[in-house]
């Protein structure tokens, strides 16, 4: 492939990823291996997404996330509620945070729902490793603060992990630019199931 055509192909990748989202497929927001978000990549994909859906009309997007401990049924819940096909199994399935865009009809408040399926906290794969608590806290913070609403899946009576993580999320929120913009009020609604 010639360098010029290769360069134009590379420049087109964010647009292809945005189209991938519009077509109903998942896209990784937070890399599950590195526990990092490539902000430049995400910004370009979202810019292309706005460009693609903005052609039709001014679209509104409702962001819904799900969080909870590993194997608590987060992906299964999204599959059941929205008819999507997030990966599920007995052990760890979701790595990082995956997003999926769904078109919605008949809702005057929004035209799309952006689902954020997060990796479960307290996973045996990371338990006892350096930084595992930090990873859980980051996952929960991202899940709650990016969303208009968050479904917190609690496994029966054993919700100690959630009780430990939620105060950390609120501490991260305090004093942030987001808190300042919202008058100190958390804008994400939380539903415990």
Would you tell me how many other CB atoms lie within 10 Å of the CB of residue 47? 13
Q: pTM surpassing 0.85?
A: no
pLDDT given at position 131: 67
How many Å apart are CA 156 and CA 82, to the nearest integer? Answer: 23
For 129-157, what is the mean pLDDT?
Answer: 81
- List, in order, residues 6 or more apart from 83 with CB less than 8 Å away: none
Answer whether CATH 2.60.40.1220 is correct for domain 58-192: no
How far CA 141 is from CA of 21, 67, 86, 177, in Å, comes to: 23, 10, 21, 14
Where in the chain are the domains? 58-192
pLDDT reading at 177 higher than 60: yes
**Mean pLDDT score of the chain, rounded to an integer?**
79
pLDDT per position as a tens digit, 55-87: 555 568 899 999 887 766 777 887 788 877 765
* Tens digits of residue pLDDT in 87-123: 555 555 566 788 889 888 888 888 888 999 887 776 6
Average pLDDT over residues 123-138: 71
pLDDT digit string (tens) for 18-37?
A: 998 888 888 888 887 777 88
Query: Comparing C-alpha atoms, which of 147, 10, 124, 6 is closest to residue 71?
Result: 124
CA–CA separation, 76 vs 185, rounded Å? 31
Host H or E run for residue 17: helix 3-22
């Amino acid at each position: 492939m010639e360098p010029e055509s290769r360069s134009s192909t590379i420049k087109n990748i964010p647009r292809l990823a945005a189209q991938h989202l519009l077509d109903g497929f998942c896209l990784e927001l937070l890399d599950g291996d590195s526990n990092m978000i490539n902000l430049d990549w995400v910004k370009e994909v979202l810019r292309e997404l706005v460009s693609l859906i903005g052609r039709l009309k001014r679209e509104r997007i409702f962001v819904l996330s799900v969080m909870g401990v590993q194997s608590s049924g987060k992906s299964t819940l999204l599959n059941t509620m929205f008819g999507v096909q997030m990966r599920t199994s007995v052990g760890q399935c979701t790595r990082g945070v995956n997003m999926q865009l769904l078109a919605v009809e008949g809702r005057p408040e929004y035209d799309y729902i952006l689902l954020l399926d997060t990796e479960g906290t307290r996973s045996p794969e990371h338990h006892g490793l350096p930084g595992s608590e930090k990873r859980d806290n980051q996952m929960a913070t991202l899940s709650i603060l990016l969303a208009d609403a968050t479904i917190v899946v609690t496994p029966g009576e054993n919700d100690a992990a959630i009780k430990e993580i939620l105060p950390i999320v609120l501490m991260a929120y305090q004093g942030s630019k987001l808190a300042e913009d919202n008058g100190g009020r958390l804008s994400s609604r939380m539903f415990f199931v």
